[in-house]
Amino acid sequence: MLLAIDTGNTNTLFAIHDGETWVVEWRIETNDARTADEYAVWLYHLMMMQGLKFSDINGCIISTVVPQALFHMRNLARRHLDVEPMIVGETGVELGAKVTLANPKEVGADRLVNAVGAHNKYEGPLILVDSGTATTFDIICGNGDFEGGIIAPGINLSLRALHDAAAKLPRIAIKKPDNVIGRGTVEAMQSGIFWGYIALIDGLIDKIKTEDNRNFTVIGTGGVASLFAGASKRIDHYDAHLTIDGLLQIWRMNTKENR
């Protein structure tokens, strides 16, 4: 079985693939001070609840945008799983596509993994909208090359900033409000956040298509992307597994193994 680990700025996703399908997924808050031993205890008990053991894992691939966390993730794989992890972005790990930017190293591993996953599943050219700590819009050409994109603040980051900067504004949950015009503070905030982000997403996609008139397919992914289902008029598909499918594709590409 393959263990895929995707460490984002907010959460870290652990997913196990048995060669045919993703059998289980878990998320934990990203904390670059959490040690390999702490991860091991947490993971051991979750796997045990699913009838799985560390010895079932014979491969591991890691993608991270938090460099400080990589040391602990690598040690988790080496010391507790007894496997040498494949690290996206390290020398020798092929992605099957290139980054056509002046400085390719500027592009985060998560965006590259998404590009690989999307190119393997959908016909290009593509616009990938990833709603996480940041909301990113990435342009993938028909042959899978990464051409650039847009980075905007994520929806949860904006919510936190609104609460932290305005003393009387409460923390609120993200939800689609019944009306655009809020009749109270919470409803007004929910409308501004939800419909504001729909306008951000659809507006930037329109701007991209105006600047580049190719026939793009638009894919939505990320932790809160499902909230926009049916609300955004520009997103064609929602794909919650885009990142881990990209990790699986990179693993198979580099090992020639179907697991």
Quote the CA–CA distance of 207 and 73 in Å, as a whole number: 39
Considering the chain, what is the average pLDDT of its residues?
A: 91
Quote the CA–CA distance of 158 and 183 in Å, as a whole number: 21
Read off the pLDDT of residues 187-227 as tens digits, 9 standing for 90 and up: 998 899 899 999 999 999 999 999 998 999 999 998 777 77
Structural domains of the chain, ranges and CATH numbers in brackets: 2-87 (3.30.420.40), 104-245 (3.30.420.40)
Percent of the chain with pLDDT over 70: 99
Q: How large is the C-alpha radius of gyration of the chain?
A: 19
pLDDT at 71 over 90: yes
Reported confidence tier of residue 259, pLDDT bands at 50, 70, 90: low
State the residue for tokens 């979750």. 46
Q: Which among 6, 82, 110, 138 is annotated as catalytic?
A: 110
Read off the pLDDT of residues 31-63 as tens digits, 9 standing for 90 and up: 989 999 999 999 999 999 999 999 999 999 999
**pTM score, whole prediction:** 0.88
Q: Which residues partner with 218 through β-bridges?
A: 127
Q: Is 147 exposed, middle or buried (0-12, 13-18, 19+ CB in 10 A)?
A: middle
Quote the CA–CA distance of 216 and 230 in Å, as a whole number: 19
Q: Tell me, what's the pLDDT at 257? A: 66
Per-residue b/e over 152-171, b at no fewer than 16 CB within 10 Å? bebbbbbbeebeeeeeeeee
Is residue 37 annotated as part of the catalytic site, yes or no? no
3-state secondary structure 70-118: HHHHHHHHHHHCCCCCEECCCCCCCCCCCECCCCHHHCCHHHHHHHHHH
**Four-residue CA torsion sign, 67, 68, 73, 74:** positive
Q: Tell me, what's the pLDDT at 56? A: 96
Name the most confidently modeled range: 93-102, 173-182, 192-201, 226-235: 192-201
Q: Tell me, what's the pLDDT at 22? A: 96
Assign 232 to helix, strand or coil. Answer: coil
pLDDT at 258 over 60: no
